[in-house]
Amino acid sequence: MLETVASPGGANATDAERKLTDGFHLVIEALTRNGVKTIYGVPGIPITDFGRQAQAAGIRVISFRHEQHAGNAAAIAGFLTKKPGICLTVSAPGFLNGLTALANATTNCFPMILISGSSEREIVDLQQGDYEEMDQLAIAKPLCKAAFRVLHAADIGIGVARAIRAAVSGRPGGVYLDLPGKLFSQVIDAEAGQRSLVTVTDAAPAQIPAPAAVARALDVLKSAKRPLIILGKGAAYAQVDDQIRGLVETSGIPFLPMSMAKGLLPDTHPLCAGAARSTVLKDSDVVMLIGARLNWLLSHGKGKTWGDVPKRFIQIDIEPKEMDSNVEIAAPVVGDIGSCVSALLDEMGGHWPEPPADWTNAVRTKREENIAKMAPRLMSTRSPMDFHGALGALRTVIKERPDAILVNEGANTLDLARGAIDMYQPRKRLDVGTWGVMGIGMGFAIAAAIETGKPVLAVEGDSAFGFSGMEVETICRYNLPICVVIFNNDGIYRGTDVNAAGSDPAITVFVKGSRYDKMIEAFGGVGVNATTPDELKRAVDAAMDSGKPTVINAVIDPAAGTESGSIGKLNPQSAVRKK
């Protein structure tokens, strides 16, 4: 029920006067009636009281130390739940702090709504220097799917409904909702307010693929001698895990999971080609992309990575404009992933000729070879640890606790963990995504713990952790079951860089021998310094068993990493410099 506010007439006011409501109540009601249970944000003018009232009304309001992390939390909440995650910020600087997360959400197709309070429109538009003056709507527009501003309390219901639909329908993404400070205190008739609210029905309608597109895709697939399925995070987002498993197993086609699609089928599945990535990209002849884009992460579908074998692509995506974005798509299948995969399965009718055995055998052999090559490195017990030794311990943790959520960022720490740590369940691996952005760590970890109630293991490069490290206070404040392991190799990529001029420290190195574990102790959490894989494993197990907020400083050999992890080739090279 919509609460009413006291009318200006006080005790002597008539009943009719008393039945009023305001912007505060209407926004809260508009969100709750559409299933919003959690808001991630940072308070301040003009949204502090709104946050308080939302909390009092039963919405969980998680207060962060910086808006970027609240925004990242909202974004990954959207990915995990298929409902828009909500981030709430103050005007100008708070809004800008949230904007990186909004843009990142849009790039990664995570549904989120950034709600920011804003200053007096009349003053902002005349540029008369208001408190935190900024034309936020104009600035947000190019960075998100849609941006809306609500000026009248009677439009709050419609504004929130539009934001929700824009975030989750079609290809999901970030939406900006601008709520000027004055809106919250606007008072309108309670009944009219109630009538103005909207319950969004079927926010992300199914989009059924055309039968001809499905038939064409199956024709192309049938012609393949060396077929490959690539699963992207869109496939993980869709939450149609059984159908995707059905498609892979009915077709018998090897599959390659992109980073956040790992675990959709277990990495240990006999058809998983994760450990034979370069072979399958080079040697396949027909590639079916499911919720995966041919962007830089797949070398744009061409060039050396893809070898000399001519490829034909089948692409399943909800966004028609994705087709032919980098190379020709022979068989576009446009629709939501659930509908597309189901339609393909229906047409296949439960039977499909197995791919030629020489292909599936070749993939299996390569995969086993590569796994065998890595195995001894993962068992290394040397101290200081190298990445593989430490990852060997964490790989076992996830094997023993497959329902834990793994958050991962860094350079070497990211690339090597992706290969070393097998995932067994869908949507358990959350990482830097399409941009390779540092700073998602604590925001993702916090939302993962809150949205799923599962234990979270965040594996962080020491540089990566620094972007969101202050949020360990937030983790302690809400007593979340998050264990952060920091791969401390004294810097960005490695800790051995030297400044050629010999004055300041080199640009990639940090204070040697830092003790990140001490940071969390300041807030009552558990800190552990781990110097061997065995110590590391024991500390993580203890954290996961107790559920206590924990930071483990994993001491890694400063010389162990490589420049930019596995993407060093993207650094610009000049012939002049090489001479």
Ligand X SMILES: Cc1ncc(C[n+]2csc(CCOP(=O)(O)OP(=O)(O)O)c2C)c(N)n1
Binding site for ligand X (CB under 6 A): 410-413, 436-439, 461-464, 487, 489, 492-493, 561, 565
**Minimum CB separation from ligand X for residue 556, in Å?**
7
Closest CB to Mg ion among residues 295, 564? 564
* Percent helix, percent strand, percent coil in the chain, to nearest 5: 45, 15, 35
Report the relative pairing of strands 286-290 and 331-334 from DSSP bridges: unpaired
**Minimum CB separation from Mg ion for residue 474, in Å?**
23
**What does 464-525 look like in DSSP terms, one character per residue?**
HHHTTGGGHHHHHHTT--EEEEEEESSBSS-S----TTSSSPPTTB--TT--THHHHHTTT-
- 565 interacts with, out of ligand X, Mg ion, none, CB within 5 to 8 A per kind: ligand X
Closest CB to Mg ion among residues 74, 554? 554
Distances (CA, A) of 239 to 80, 225, 336: 9, 30, 11
Distances (CA, A) of 259 to 123, 232, 243, 342, 562: 47, 8, 20, 24, 20
> Residue 545 is inside which H or E element, if any?
helix 533-546
Single out the segment in contact with Mg ion by CB under 5 A; choices: 46-54, 130-138, 435-443, 462-470. Answer: 462-470
**Minimum CB separation from ligand X for residue 541, in Å?**
23
- 468 interacts with, out of ligand X, Mg ion, none, CB within 5 to 8 A per kind: none
- Cα(491)–Cα(561) distance, rounded to whole angstroms? 10
Supply the DSSP symbol for 131. T
- 464 interacts with, out of ligand X, Mg ion, none, CB within 5 to 8 A per kind: ligand X
For residue 280, which of 176, 199, 208, 367 has the smallest C-alpha distance?
A: 367
Closest CB to Mg ion among residues 267, 462? 462
Closest CB to Mg ion among residues 263, 461? 461
> Residue 373 is inside which H or E element, if any?
helix 357-378
**Minimum CB separation from ligand X for residue 149, in Å?**
28
- Does residue 461 belong to the site contacting Mg ion (CB under 5 A)? yes
Contact (CB, 8 A) for 555 and 526: no
**Minimum CB separation from Mg ion for residue 463, in Å?**
5
Report the relative pairing of strands 146-149 and 174-180 from DSSP bridges: parallel
- Does residue 517 belong to the site contacting Mg ion (CB under 5 A)? no
Closest CB to ligand X among residues 124, 551? 551
Closest CB to Mg ion among residues 335, 461? 461
**Minimum CB separation from ligand X for residue 491, in Å?**
6
**Minimum CB separation from Mg ion for residue 46, in Å?**
40
**Minimum CB separation from Mg ion for residue 519, in Å?**
16
Which residues neighbour 99 within 8 Å (Cβ) at sequence distance 6 or greater? Answer: 71, 114, 139, 140, 143
Q: Which residue has the tokens 């305001």?
A: 22
Single out the segment in contact with Mg ion by CB under 5 A; choices: 65-73, 186-194, 271-279, 461-469. Answer: 461-469
**Minimum CB separation from ligand X for residue 84, in Å?**
23
- Does residue 489 belong to the site contacting Mg ion (CB under 5 A)? yes
- Cα(292)–Cα(223) distance, rounded to whole angstroms? 22
Establish whether the linkage from the previous residue to 384 is cis, with ω within 30° of 0. yes
Closest CB to ligand X among residues 212, 498? 498
- Cα(410)–Cα(26) distance, rounded to whole angstroms? 42
Closest CB to ligand X among residues 254, 433? 433
Residue 288 dihedral angles phi and psi, to the nearest 5°: -105, 115
Q: Which of 178, 283, 409, 462 binds Mg ion (CB under 5 A)?
A: 462
Q: Spell out, one character per residue from 156 to 175, where the chain touches Mg ion: x when CB under 5 A holds, - when not.
A: --------------------
- 108 interacts with, out of Mg ion, ligand X, none, CB within 5 to 8 A per kind: none
**Minimum CB separation from Mg ion for residue 85, in Å?**
29
Closest CB to ligand X: residue number:
461
Closest CB to ligand X among residues 133, 386? 386
Residue 439 dihedral angles phi and psi, to the nearest 5°: 115, 0
Closest CB to Mg ion among residues 209, 461? 461
- 437 interacts with, out of ligand X, Mg ion, none, CB within 5 to 8 A per kind: ligand X
Report the relative pairing of strands 187-189 and 20-22 from DSSP bridges: antiparallel
Which stretches of the chain bind Mg ion, using CB under 5 A?
A: 461-462, 489
